[in-house]
Amino acid sequence: MKFYCTALLLVFCVQISLSFGYVTRAGSREKRVCVIGAGLAGLSSARYLKEEGIDFTVLEVTEYIGGTWRYDPRVGTDENGLPIHTSMYKHLRTNLPKPTMELRGFPIPKDMPSFPTWEMYYNYIKDYAKYFDLEKYIKFLQKVINVSRKNNVWKVKYKHVKTGEETEEEYDYVIVGNGHHSKPRLPEIPGEDIFTGTIIHSHDYREPDPYTGRRVLVVGAGPSGMDISIDVAYVSSKLIHSHHSKVHFRTRFPDHFIRKPDIKEYNETGVYFVDGSYEEIDDVIYCTGYEYDYPFLDESCGLTIKPQSVVPLYKYMVNINEPSMVLIGLIVRACLVVAIDAQARYATALIKGNFTLPSKEEMLEDWQRRAEIVYSKGRPISDIHLLAEKEDKYYDALTQESGIERVPPVMFKIRTVDTEAKLENLYNYRKYVYTVLDNENFVRSFEDEMRNNTTIYSP
């Protein structure tokens, strides 16, 4: 609940924010916000917090902005002994078209291809931070090591990765943006220890060159599995792709690209699959996804964190048990950049006091309804983070509740058509050029024949 006063009376205005259990008077200490991470989630939060004149600090463990979009040829640990955060690889081009990768009000340059390389997109992120002058709000080389809730305030403890100096500060709000594509999720396959070939996770995949002329097994058919298997297949003598995806990929793969079911076990020189077949293998790349990882969140934060789920969250981001904490970017199957931008605006509107959240009971009920749908379909709780076909409705709901400008429906429409293009042909879906006409409509053309082959999509 909140009472607005006229501008003249603002000075005497008493702002009551029951949902957070404390009262602030005009003139008393300003609300302080801690943003964890300077990837897209942290940067877009910073931009909106700044625009609203809210007091905030961004804590970033590396010396860089951009998170996973900064390619680092190294694997393992960095110069400060910290695990390399980025999962970027040399040949990566975005897997979504330009319009769905755009941060609000900051156009991606026209001369960039329809599906930019990581480098182009990383430069775009750097330009964004420069344009909104965000770097001065970021404390680099600061690793957040403990976030706990005590006496209705957040205690955030962080450590300088070079000097080891520890700092503890109090904040009213915490925005968590540490990414969820960094900690490998590894399968457990019998015989792995006796296998004499190499095994890596896609987090450590950088370039195809080491696989030249070799027999390579790629495991998993998510976005990384599909993309990396194609990248490697250009140079490998054989590409064995093991997965159990029910998705009907219609791509015609080259002859040395062989589909296999799940792995049963390794022996010294190769792999038995569950259908009883065997393949000699030199190298294995697990594209088996990532785990949610929040080692700094103390129990008092009130979240239950499992490798594949973080619960309970309202609107896929607000920590229901401590609603002054928002986790940004924790969604699967969406235009993630656009969604992150919208979540950052929602979080900022919340902190600004533009709207108040429902009661904890109502938020829990809402969450339970979603969880029950997941369970009733016999799906694992990890699906609680899945937007997929619910994506556009989600944007509408964010706007209804918080008053933020709506993410236009054309974003979801483009993603839907792009998903279909990927099923049709993984080798050429990046040749499509998508041009937004208005909030509802876009035009798609094929790169080679842009001039006279245009399809207009409208509702």
Ligand X SMILES: *[C@@H]1O[C@H](CO)[C@@H](O)[C@H](O)[C@H]1NC(C)=O
Ligand Y SMILES: Cc1cc2nc3c(=O)[nH]c(=O)nc-3n(C[C@H](O)[C@H](O)[C@H](O)COP(=O)(O)OP(=O)(O)OC[C@H]3O[C@@H](n4cnc5c(N)ncnc54)[C@H](O)[C@@H]3O)c2cc1C
* Interface contacts to ligand Y, rule CB under 6 A: 36-42, 59-62, 67-69, 85, 87-88, 92, 94-96, 101, 143-144, 177-179, 181-182, 296, 329, 336-337
Given ligand X, ligand Y, none, residue 343, with its beta carbon under 5 to 8 Å by kind, binds: none
Assess 195 for contact with ligand X (CB under 6 A): no
The two tokens of residue 174 are: 């915490």
- C-alpha 239: how far from chain center: 28
Whichever of 345 and 422 has its CB closer to ligand X, that residue is 345
Rg, C-alpha atoms of the chain? 23
Whichever of 237 and 454 has its CB closer to ligand X, that residue is 454
Nearest approach, Cβ of 343 to ligand X (angstroms)? 11
Given ligand X, ligand Y, none, residue 270, with its beta carbon under 5 to 8 Å by kind, binds: ligand X
Assess 33 for contact with ligand X (CB under 6 A): no
Assess 449 for contact with ligand X (CB under 6 A): yes
Assess 429 for contact with ligand X (CB under 6 A): no
**In the block, which residue shows the tokens 């792999």?**
271
Nearest approach, Cβ of 300 to ligand X (angstroms)? 7
Assess 19 for contact with ligand X (CB under 6 A): no
Given ligand Y, ligand X, none, residue 278, with its beta carbon under 5 to 8 Å by kind, binds: ligand X
Pairing type for strands 278-280 and 283-286 reads: unpaired
Virtual torsion, Cα 202, 208, 213, 219, nearest 10 deg: 20
Given ligand Y, ligand X, none, residue 329, with its beta carbon under 5 to 8 Å by kind, binds: ligand Y
> Residue 3: phi, psi to the nearest 5?
-110, 125
114 CB contacts (<8 Å, ≥6 apart)?
A: 97, 98, 430, 431, 432, 433, 434, 447
d(CA 35, CA 38): 8
Assess 252 for contact with ligand X (CB under 6 A): no
Single out the residue of 348, 395, 410, 413 in contact with ligand X (rule: CB under 6 A).
Answer: 348
Nearest approach, Cβ of 217 to ligand X (angstroms)? 14
> Under a CB-based contact definition with an 8 Å cutoff, are residues 247 and 424 in contact?
no
Whichever of 201 and 345 has its CB closer to ligand X, that residue is 345
Q: How many CB atoms lie within 10 A of CB 458?
A: 11
> Under a CB-based contact definition with an 8 Å cutoff, are residues 317 and 82 in contact?
no
Assess 143 for contact with ligand X (CB under 6 A): no
Nearest approach, Cβ of 344 to ligand X (angstroms)? 9
> Under a CB-based contact definition with an 8 Å cutoff, are residues 123 and 115 in contact?
no
Whichever of 336 and 349 has its CB closer to ligand X, that residue is 349
User: Which positions from 353 to 382 touch ligand X by CB under 6 A, shown as an x/- string?
Assistant: -x----------------------------
Q: Where are the beta strands (DSSP E) in 274-332?
A: 278-280, 283-286, 290-291, 304-306, 309-311, 313-314, 318-319, 325-327
Region label for 219, one of left (φ > 0), alpha (ψ between -120 and 50) or beta (otherwise) = beta
Nearest approach, Cβ of 296 to ligand Y (angstroms)? 5
Single out the residue of 19, 123, 146, 356 in contact with ligand X (rule: CB under 6 A).
Answer: 146
The two tokens of residue 86 are: 């980025």
Nearest approach, Cβ of 54 to ligand X (angstroms)? 9
Assess 148 for contact with ligand X (CB under 6 A): yes
β-pair partners for 327: 176
CA terminus-to-terminus distance, the chain: 39
Nearest approach, Cβ of 61 to ligand X (angstroms)? 16
Nearest approach, Cβ of 374 to ligand X (angstroms)? 30
Question: What secondary structure letter does DSSP report for 384?
Answer: G
Nearest approach, Cβ of 333 to ligand Y (angstroms)? 11
Total count of residues recorded for the chain: 459
The two tokens of residue 323 are: 């609603």
DSSP H stretches of helix in 184-318: 223-233
Whichever of 183 and 241 has its CB closer to ligand Y, that residue is 183
Assess 435 for contact with ligand X (CB under 6 A): no
Closest CA to 200 of 221, 222, 228, 176: 228
Q: Which residues bind ligand X (CB under 6 A)?
A: 48, 52, 146, 148, 267-270, 278, 298, 345, 348-349, 352, 354, 403-404, 446, 449, 451-453
